[in-house]
Amino acid sequence: MSSKRWARRSLLTSLGIGLPAAAVMSGMTRRRGLAGAPADPPKELSMIIRRSSERGHADHGWLRSFHTFSFAGYHDPAHMGFGALRVINEDRVQPGKGFGTHPHRDMEIISYVLDGGLEHRDSMGNGSVIRPGDVQRMSAGTGVTHSEFNASRSELVHFLQIWIVPDRRGIAPSYEQKAFPEAERRGKLRLVASRDGRAGSVLVHQDMNLYASLLGAGEPVRYEVPAARRAWIHVARGSVEIGGARLDAGDAAAVSEAGALDIVGKDPAELLVFDLA
């Protein structure tokens, strides 16, 4: 073979042209072996799965709550949080009942309603009803009091209460609420909270991004975990498959290395993806 033909063949091989399909990678990249040899299989990200049944649970009659991380009377040293993510409580509140006025400080609190309406009032003068598709963020900062009640006299309210540790203490209290229509979350990861409030998301005082997604059965979505970051995936309802593992409502997965996460709906599903430093 002439030197020119050899050089051209080497160039095409390095670009993956003319190689078997198995040797051309998609998703996570890995080093290819000798030219023409099959590539190594894609690297599978290591996950730690937190099952719904392992969560803490409290039943107060008017309130049924499941705690992903240690909270109130539930304490598990192995589950104190994940980076700046401190609390994910799945709450169901009976009609007309709720949390009376109580204080918070130095915490970013996000409410994400799955069913029903959650009525909020606080010492900053804010009053609203949070409904499915809404994301509410309250920065407690130097101190705030608020109450949360089921806005209905006949139906349960089902919501997630999320606490994020702020990147600094003593900030001024603030409040924000935005709606994210179903069409913006269907089959994609919609940014709903971020440090800089980009893309219409609510602003949080921490280096984190929160995405919401709605998936149909068999519908995929991919999330690329950036270098030096980690991800927490919480299945709010339905079921999904991640890396061959099935996760049902209330289950979560922790990933602490960079790479691609392919998430596929098994049943119609709603999930949250936390991207954390």
String of DSSP letters for 145-172 = EEEEEES-SSS-EEEEEEEE--SSSSPP
Average pLDDT over residues 191-200: 99
pTM passes above 0.75: yes
Report helix, strand or coil for 23.
helix
Query: pLDDT tens digit string along 152-182?
Result: 999 999 999 999 999 999 999 999 999 999 9
**Per-residue model confidence (pLDDT) at position 11:** 36
8 or 212: which leads in pLDDT: 212
Domain boundaries, the chain: 1-39, 47-276
Query: pLDDT tens digit string along 180-189?
Result: 999 999 999 9
Check residue 80 and report its DSSP letter: S
Binding residues for Fe cation: 102, 104, 146, 148
Q: Domain 47-276 maps to which CATH number in 2.60.120.10, 3.40.50.2300, 2.70.98.10, 3.30.530.20?
A: 2.60.120.10
Q: What's the gap between Cα 235 and its chain centre?
A: 8
Binding residues: 102, 104, 146, 148
| Helix and strand element counts for the chain (H, E) | 2, 20
The edge-to-edge listing of strands for the beta sheet with 85-93 is 56-59, 63-67, 85-93, 157-164, 108-115, 134-139, 174-179
**Per-residue model confidence (pLDDT) at position 178:** 99
